[in-house]
Structure 1
Amino acid sequence: MLKINDINVYYGNIHALKGVSLEINQGEIVTLIGANGAGKSTLLKTISGLLKPKNGEILFESEHVAGKVPQLIVKRGISQVPEGRRVFANMSVEENLELGAYLRKDKKGIREDFEKVFQLFPRLQERRKQQSGTLSGGEQQMLAMGRALMARPRLLLLDEPSMGLAPLLVKTIFRIIEEIKQTGTTILLVEQNANMALSIADRAYVIETGKIVASGTSEELSQSDQIRNAYLGGH
């Protein structure tokens, strides 16, 4: 579904992604784990069209999308939930969700998707008229995910969904990510909580200083001493 071949991305003179290649098959949850500053968010921004690779290719359903403008990439079926949630604080929950569907014209489908989002996140339905800035961190994370789903993506990019959330809420968010997968949406999950990410992912890639240094099934990486010591607390 998504195939990345040998991309290099720079911030000015800083070589942020160095020959990164990975692929995601339809219906999978693939996780990308790595330390802060390893290049995880840079990769998501490059897939989303917010950054342009210097070279290499990104193929989504066999179409070249590297360097295309973000709205075209959303239209093609890729949505991103940014790190830090980035909800529109002075707009209501409902208005934030409507913005997620801004490229769509199918009013009936949009109404149906509102209901689907409210089924996934009942808390949002209770607060649909509330200003988003007054929601808790967990509720804002749910809203950011709901907003991305309103675009009806076939591939959902999640950037650090558990960041800053209480452990109980982290479990809830990860359960919902699994439910989103059950609806047929493919997911690329960037997450510092490597234990949680590997517990729900089919496959994983490890990135260090802009390079992919390991990949395999979640089970394989969970059992690797090297990965356990570096990312999983050495259990």
Structure 2
Amino acid sequence: MSSLTTTVKAMVFDTFGSVVDWRGSITRDLTRWGQENGFEADWTAFAVKWRSMYQPSMEAVRSGKRPFTILDVLHRESLEVLIKEFGLEAMTEAQRVHVNKVWHRLDGWPDAVGGLTRLKSKYIIAPLSNGNISLLTDIAKYTGLPWDLNLSTEVFRCYKPQPQSYLGVCAALQLEPGEVMMCAAHNDDLLAARNVGLKTAFWPRPTEHGPGQTTNLVAAHDWDIVARDIRDLATQMGV
């Protein structure tokens, strides 16, 4: 482990699910908003369905079927489908804009701010997320995430797990892949990062998808670090 703490210079973090609780946050936010504005829905089901549209919408960009399009726009397109599906057509344009920006108002997991603050004392820390720049900036301000910089994949005009997203970080920071650690609660994200030479750290978020979650409960590979959470990751990284 000591070799990692001297070799690694930067640690980049998947954000949705790994650092912030999208499902719980959206449910809480829209439940409150719905009560205040006269809209009723199963907001947990709404959040889960919205998230299920995330990968297919990005795949159209990754495959080249459409030009690079930021996540806020993809989320809005998905939202329009959900509005019809959940019978919420009475929403005004201003309300739709507000609801779409719920992704900018996500709460961190309880260990996130404290763990990241410790890591920042020694390492460069940044999100490496498919969220766009303004989205990640707003989350950081809302939740108090202490990033050194914002490495949205918007910077690289691609979406994870495309290799250029991970290698783009290395180029931006002028570091070798082995000096950058990808940190996430998702095994597939880490595998893509490892495949282009990055170091890897995993911790589980067993309630990200709710009580019936079956994926990413344990490390699927021999990642460089397997931690309990971000605080434990900081301990294992010597801070």
Whether TM exceeds 0.5 here: the answer is: no
Q: Whose strand proportion is higher, 1 or 2? A: 1
Q: Scaled by the length of structure 1, what TM-score is found?
A: 0.29
Q: Scaled by the length of structure 2, what TM-score is found?
A: 0.28
Q: Whose helix proportion is higher, 1 or 2? A: 2
